[in-house]
Chains A and B, each alone.
Chain A
């Protein structure tokens, strides 16, 4: 069981009208891995996330998570078996205080089953569990930050709140859609150890990122997408040396020479 990959994405394709957002993309995530997904704008990264987490139904291919074939399942069922995601555009409940945002995931069937976070759940009120999770993820418990309205929180905290929403479900795999984008250097620096801690706790991660340097510090493996196709996969340091990847990011040398 533990030898088997946690997530197998097998040749999934998705077209929107005539545009092939994804074509024949495959990837595997082993338990405890951090897999990076990179690629230029419009290369299909977010579509890949949507297709895995059920928000978009792939036209072809198969997604297997933890032994379940989850292709075409509803998003809530996928989240229920332990595959959660964050949103690139943060989606907190703006009208609620930060800690009340976590009440909703803590109310889900999965959170009730897994007993909340670290022996919480039925043992304490959801508010207490929510504050625990927020402290875990870097909201200072004794400060006023967890009690502030989500609409008044800065981006850094909102990104953490997105992660916290996933953690409340005690997931096995989190797909992070650009958690580092829009953060300042210091916010990012404080985010890195958090992600490492999650990995040490046995949570696998797929990280879709534009911030390559931070990603390469974390990821075991990196997958490069371009125009919906997987063009490279490998160890972080090696991938960027590949010719195809350089072309995708910087344009090909031949093209440049043509213009000169």
Chain B
């Protein structure tokens, strides 16, 4: 048996329909059009239909909102890590800053939700970018460590100085008028950010981003300020996180230091590993799997971290490429054994 296996190898070839639907000629037949559109449509319509399907179970509707917030963070992590080359563990910081900015705008200035959320997205992202600016020359694991410090530091500073309501947080923030608005706001935000980021990485500016990741010396030698592009990357990523944070503070009607929690930094990474890094859709799929699991395991208390760790380890050992990469390979290519 061992000898037999030695004489053959696995060959991967593109499926005929994949090749036929590569160019503009895909519009020649319905088969090819549906081959291209079907998976995307399942993803989009599935997400859009989810709140309606979950109406009988309001608890899971809430979970869906949390899934979407984690998805936004996971998308931003995936974008930063795989297209800008910054492994950022600052997810908790983005959420916290967004939540506090939205809550302060709402409580101190009396701004309504449709102003606080966009304002918190932009102002929060600007605040995050300014804080991350000194760390941008760092790379790899060093940047990761420093970015992990920010959410911890912010929580301690608020606690110690007793600002913004201290440990009690800011209570009494306006809630959403209906659960539908909350759900669809988040779902549309997830869909739009996936769409825009997937478009952007293939544009010229996306190539500059990936140049900064692969080969920053050559980008510098090309007369491009890499710090500016890293800052732009952080701004885009943190605006997704701050949007999530702002929505979160309106869902809970409260902003507090637990919104700087490490969960917001760690779960997006786990979701990206499970879903497949570099695909931008994979992280969303990862969140759709991991967050419900973590909800189901809520009864087990801290034991769920152990279950989490086991799932993550299994994925890293057995399917390190992630679900999305694996699935799209199966969708686009077939495998066969050839003797050598």
A binding-site residues for B, Cβ under 8 Å: 53, 55, 74-77, 79-80, 84-85, 87, 91-96, 100, 103-111, 126, 165-166, 168-169
Contact = CB atoms under 8 A, between A and B. Distances in A.
B222 A105 contact: yes
B175 interface: no
B221 A95 contact: no
A55 B204 CA distance: 25
A1 B222 CA distance: 26
A108 to B, nearest CB: 4
B223 A108 contact: yes
Interface in B177-213: 204-205, 207-208, 210-211
A107 B220 contact: no
B221 A84 contact: yes
20 contacts: A74-B220, A76-B220, A76-B221, A76-B222, A76-B224, A79-B220, A80-B223, A85-B221, A87-B218, A87-B221, A91-B217, A93-B207, A93-B214, A93-B215, A95-B210, A100-B207, A104-B207, A104-B219, A108-B223, A169-B222
B226 interface: yes
Interface range on chain B: under 10, 10 to 19, 20 to 34, or 35 or more? 10 to 19
Nearest to B203: A103
Nearest to A110: B223
The residue in A91, A94, A110, A166 that gathers the most chain B C-beta atoms within 10 A of its C-beta is: A91
The residue in A103, A165, A166, A168 that gathers the most chain B C-beta atoms within 10 A of its C-beta is: A103
B207 A109 contact: no
B339 interface: no
B220 A95 contact: no
The residue in A85, A96, A126 that gathers the most chain B C-beta atoms within 10 A of its C-beta is: A96
B328 interface: no
Interface string B213-243: 0110111111111100000000000000000
Contacts of A110: 223
Contacts of A169: 222-223
Given A75-B221, A93-B218, A104-B222, 11 more contacts: A53-B221, A76-B220, A76-B225, A77-B225, A85-B221, A93-B214, A96-B210, A103-B207, A103-B208, A107-B208, A109-B223
B210 A165 contact: no
B218 A76 contact: no
A75 B223 CA distance: 7
Contacts of B215: 91-93
B223 A105 contact: yes
Given A104-B208, A107-B204, A107-B208, A75 B220 contact: yes
A76 B208 contact: no
Nearest to B205: A107
A166 B222 CA distance: 7
A132 B210 CA distance: 23
A108 B224 contact: yes
Contacts of B224: 76, 104-105, 107-109
Contacts of A55: 217, 220
Contacts of A107: 204-205, 207-208, 224
A108 B228 CA distance: 12
B201 to A, nearest CB: 12
A81 to B, nearest CB: 9
B218 A79 contact: no
A196 to B, nearest CB: 23
B221 A92 contact: no
Contacts of A104: 207-208, 211, 218-219, 222, 224
A79 B223 contact: yes
Contacts of B210: 93, 95-96
Interface string B133-164: 00000000000000000000000000000000
A157 to B, nearest CB: 16
Contact of A76 (B204, B214, B223): B223
Contacts of B214: 93-95
Contact of B221 (A79, A94, A103): A79
B218 A165 contact: yes
A92 B222 contact: no
Contacts of A166: 221
Nearest to A80: B223
8 tightest A-B contacts by CB? A79-B223, A105-B222, A108-B223, A75-B220, A91-B218, A80-B223, A104-B211, A110-B223
A250 B214 CA distance: 40
A111 B226 CA distance: 16
A92 to B, nearest CB: 7
Nearest to A113: B223
Interface in B31-86: none
A96 B223 CA distance: 19
A94 B210 CA distance: 11
Nearest to B207: A103
A126 B204 contact: yes
A150 to B, nearest CB: 10
Nearest to A108: B223
A103 B220 contact: no
Contacts of B207: 93, 96, 100, 103-104, 107
B220 to A, nearest CB: 4
A198 B204 CA distance: 27
Contacts of B204: 103, 106-107, 126
Contact of A165 (B208, B222, B225, B226): B222
